[in-house]
Structure 1
Amino acid sequence: MKIYLAAVPALAAQIVAAAAADLPFREAVLRPAFPAAESVPVPDWTGLYFGAHVGAAADGGFHGETLAPLPAVSARTSLGGFTGGGTIGFNYQFAPQFLTGLAPGGGLVVGIEADGGYASFRSQSSVSVPTLGFSAEGGLGTDTYFATLRGRVGYAWGPLLVYATGGWAASEIGVNGGVTVPGFSVPVKLKNLPAGLPIPQAITFGGFSGSASRSMPVDGYVVGAGIEYAVLPNWTVKSEYLYADLDRTVTVRASPYQARFNAGFDVHQLRIGVNHRLNWL
């Protein structure tokens, strides 16, 4: 009886081993106690983008002056108006620098941007004397294009980019004017006329009314600064300030004389815009 009892453990061990051999092999997998935190994508400003903008003139004016050999004469008049158009550009962001305790970090961003569209900066004045029927008006304006080609350099803190910008700008200014002079008569008295000739009682002027306009291209420099923010992975909004100073020198020749003039305008613009980034990484 004792012999049988001693064989029981050995028999049980053989049965367990045989059952285990029939089970499929399963590799032990080590699982963490808690799931690993997902990595947060770091916005990268590198890539091509396009967008649209609108703006208004906060200050500025049209200016002109005579150049030698004419005596120095200058004039200036303030302007106002708005602008709007499209934008295309490319940014390159250097390797992001992660700041201790902040995620995501930032990096230096350089780029080039071109924009163009419609601009209506105007300065208009007029004078009239209704009782006499006399009126005159004149003005300067940019009822035409306004375009810039600028470099940009800034620093990005994740979705926020602060930048400075500067480059070349071009537009066109136009001069327009008109005048209306009423007709009038001047009474005359003539003496000692030969007999038989009609004697005029007055000399009459029929009046005059006309207008003219002329435009010329101008170009110069533009500088400014702005802030751009990524509201979505590939959409950004921006607000920027631009100052542009454009002019042109014109020479008028009337043989044997010539006259030289410099004319143009400067404008402070406040703009807002939206950009779509094609390859936000």
Structure 2
Amino acid sequence: MTMTKKFALPLLAGLIGGAAALPALAGGYIEPAPAPVVVQPEPVLSYGNWAGGYVGANVGWNDDKADPDFGATGSMTANGESFGLGAGYNWQSGAWVYGVEGDISTADISDSETSGGDEFESKIDTMATLRGRVGYDMGNWMPYVTAGVAAAKADYSFENAAGRSSDSDTLTGYTAGFGAEYKINDKWSAKGEYLYTKFDGRFEGEGDVDHDVNSLRLGMNYHF
């Protein structure tokens, strides 16, 4: 092989390779292939498990505006604590929780009022409610509204120039309120609630006694 052929063959190969690359260079920037699209799954809503039965206990503070429609005494505000036991059952559909709850409490809600020589005393020593509840599941939290019927036992006394008389009455009425319950774990929950209760009472031989009771309660429930 002559010296001319020795250098001519590599040169020819280089020219052919360069010619093949010219179209790509002439076309400018070549856009890279797009990255694969990753589809994120739709988030799955997670609800707590509020369905089932429960029992519990509560403590409360109560203000009672008692308003007799007889004698010279006007309305008075009695107040006192209460201690109660309760039970209920919940049904759940999605985030909505529907339930029924009943409770009974011992109480010491008492006061007296004197005016114009007349003295009136009122004391509520037992209260009970039967209520429906509608709550919204927010995981561990469940705010709710509640309403139903209520009953109580009241002791009255009235004294004026004619003498002193006493009476006991079973009060009936309605109650409504709202609250929130927090799931501590699968078995235990804590709750706080406000209830307004309207009672109609009767003092025999004298007249009617209206009661407006505002209650704040804290409680614990055991779920099963």
Q: Same fold (TM over 0.5)?
A: yes
Q: Which amino acid aligns with 1:121?
A: I
8 Å Cα contact 2:201/2:211 also seen in 1: no
Q: Which amino acid aligns with 1:55?
A: G
Q: 1:178 deviation in Å?
A: 6.4
Deviating above 6 A after TM superposition, structure 1's stretches of 4 or more consecutive aligned residues are: none
Verify: 1:45 aligned to 2:45, yes or no: no
Supply the RMSD in Å over aligned alpha carbons.
Answer: 3.1
8 Å Cα contact 1:119/1:145 also seen in 2: yes
- 2:209 corresponds in structure 1 to 263
What is the aligned counterpart of 1:111 among 99, 122, 125? Answer: 99
- 1:61 corresponds in structure 2 to 65
Inter-partner Cα distance in structure 2 for 1:172 and 1:235: 31
- 2:148 corresponds in structure 1 to 167
What is the aligned counterpart of 1:140 among 109, 122, 130? Answer: 122
Inter-partner Cα distance in structure 2 for 1:272 and 1:251: 35
1:71-115: CA deviation from partner (whole Å, max 9, x where unpaired):
x998311111111110100011103xxxxxxxxxxx001100000
Inter-partner Cα distance in structure 2 for 1:65 and 1:74: 9
Inter-partner Cα distance in structure 2 for 1:238 and 1:87: 12
Decide whether aligned partners of structure 1 residues 251 and 214 sit closer, same or farther in structure 2, where only a CA change above 3 A counts.
Answer: closer
- Runs of 5+ unmatched residues, structure 1: 1-40, 67-71, 96-106, 128-134, 182-209, 253-259
- Aligned partner of residue 75 in structure 1, secondary structure: coil
Q: Which amino acid aligns with 1:165?
A: T
8 Å Cα contact 1:147/1:171 also seen in 2: yes
Inter-partner Cα distance in structure 2 for 1:86 and 1:221: 19
Matches within 5 A, 1:1-281: 42-57=47-62, 59-65=63-69, 75-95=74-94, 107-125=95-113, 138-142=120-124, 144-176=125-157, 212-249=165-202, 252=205, 261-278=207-224
- Aligned partner of residue 49 in structure 2, secondary structure: coil
Q: Which amino acid aligns with 2:155?
A: G
8 Å Cα contact 2:58/2:85 also seen in 1: yes
Decide whether aligned partners of structure 1 residues 230 and 110 sit closer, same or farther in structure 2, where only a CA change above 3 A counts.
Answer: same
- Aligned partner of residue 79 in structure 1, secondary structure: strand
8 Å Cα contact 1:248/1:263 also seen in 2: yes
Q: Which amino acid aligns with 1:237?
A: A
- 1:102 corresponds in structure 2 to none
Q: Which amino acid aligns with 1:265?
A: H
Inter-partner Cα distance in structure 2 for 1:169 and 1:219: 6
Inter-partner Cα distance in structure 2 for 1:139 and 1:64: 10
- Aligned partner of residue 233 in structure 1, secondary structure: coil
- 1:24 corresponds in structure 2 to none
1:232-255: CA deviation from partner (whole Å, max 9, x where unpaired):
111000000000010135675xxx
- Give the stretch that moved more between structures: 118-127 or 230-239: 118-127
Identity of matched residues, %: 32
Q: Which amino acid aligns with 2:169?
A: M
- Aligned partner of residue 232 in structure 1, secondary structure: coil
- TM-score, scaled relative to structure 2: 0.70
8 Å Cα contact 2:68/2:209 also seen in 1: yes
Inter-partner Cα distance in structure 1 for 2:130 and 2:213: 16
